Homo-oligomer: A and B are copies of this chain.
Amino acid sequence: MTEFELIRRHFATLAPGRADVVLGVGDDCALLCCPPGEALAVSIDTLVSGVHFLPGCDPAAIGHKSLAVGLSDLAAMGARPVWATLALTLPTGDGGWVEGFAAGFAGLAGAHGVALVGGDTTRGPLSISVQVHGFVPADHAVRRSGAAPGDLVCVSGTLGDAGLALRGLLAGNSPDDWLCGRLDRPTPRVALGLALRGVASAMIDCSDGLAADLGHILEASGVGAELELQALPLSPEVARAVVDRGDWTLPLTSGDDYELCFCLPAAALDRLPGLASAGGCGLTVIGRIGAGPGLVCRRPDGSSLDLVRSGFDHFAGEGG
């Protein structure tokens, strides 16, 4: 099967049509209409076999996740997703794998009205690069740099689930379906991101782990923060793991949760229930922005956790 057939069969027909796609897959470039008065938001991310997913992972899950990580970046800017492009590098022209991958990709694309407008398929070690495109009025985009002392630090959903699932899989266990779903099929918080336009002072998605991702907000904003560890939203599974091991690295430094971490002016606290409802997910206040530099994590007994000893590898995982 040639790459043209691969792409045509599995992608071109599965992607939803959009009126703003003048010309989609099949020419030298896609041609796209941009709405007047809004900024184009773009992000590109790569998933590599053995680095971002385990070899043998369900191709439909890989298809879902390869788009989800980009949609999560759009969500973290408050952007409305519209288009995606896909660069797929495959060891062989494996039709079954491509079919599964395409189904996972198309399922999430369809749910968010995202059209696949271009791609490239090449031979090589399995990896997937997806660029997502969205729109947001430039002055409503939520950057990392707007956090101010006194703002509340909030997070959506629960933290550490994906890390716990990965830990279980690497140990040869079989984590339950819910936990595996948190790793393999993360939910990009697109509706929440849109609801936080013009409300959140700063935002980022938790792809590298809360401490690192919040750290980017602190660095970009020139502020510090203090978190209350007992306030972190944890699933029962992660809460048990934290208690059993007595360490907080799972919710603080394991990545891949794709929840949104955002800062909220304290005066907007009463909007939290409405935002949670709009976003279709739980929202939790976990701490507060301060003027001093760095991140302080308070244990329930008031002592401070040493984050340096919870270090991890920055190299993989950051969208730009």
Q: Does A172 contact B (CB under 8 A)?
A: no
Question: A125: CB under 8 A from chain B?
Answer: yes
Closest residue on chain B to residue A43 by CB atoms: B29
Report the interface size for chain A: residues with CB under 8 A from the other chain.
72
Copy total for this chain: 2
Q: Contacts A43-B118, A121-B318, A138-B33 given: A204-B28 contact, CB under 8 Å? A: yes
The answer, among B43, B123, B317, for a CB contact under 8 Å with A122, is B317
Whether A123 and B316, one on each chain, are in contact in the complex, defined by CB atoms closer than 8 angstroms, is yes
Interface assignment of A120: CB less than 8 Å from any CB of chain B: yes
**Contact B144 A44, beta carbon cutoff 8 Å:** no
Residues of B close to A134: CB separation below 8 A: 29
Name which of A74-82, A161-169, A232-240, A298-306 contacts chain B. A74-82
Complex CA gap A203/B204 in Å reads 42
Measured CA separation A34–B34 after assembly (Å):
7
A3 at the interface (CB under 8 A from B): yes
Q: Contacts A39-B22, A89-B127, A118-B43 known; A136 to B31 CB distance under 8 Å?
A: yes
CB pair A320 B7 closer than 8 Å: yes
Which of A48-56, A174-182, A272-280, A286-294 is found at the contact surface with chain B? Answer: A48-56
Interface of chain A residues 12 through 54 with chain B (CB within 8 A): 22-23, 25-34, 36, 39-52
* Complex CA–CA separation, A46 to B118 (angstroms): 12
A23 touches B315 (CB 8 A): no
Q: In this assembly, does A198 line the interface, its C-beta being within 8 Å of a C-beta of chain B? A: no
Q: Is the CB of B3 within 8 A of A315?
A: yes
- Is A256 an interface residue when CB atoms closer than 8 A count as contact? no
Distance to closest chain B CB from A167 (angstroms): 20
User: Residues on A close to B: CB < 8 A?
Assistant: 2-4, 7, 22-23, 25-34, 36, 39-52, 73-74, 76-77, 79, 85-87, 89, 93, 117-125, 127, 129, 131, 133-134, 136, 138, 141, 143-145, 203-205, 220, 314-320
15 contacts between A and B (CB under 8 A): A27-B145, A28-B144, A28-B203, A29-B77, A30-B320, A31-B136, A42-B85, A48-B122, A85-B320, A93-B315, A118-B319, A120-B129, A123-B316, A125-B125, A129-B129
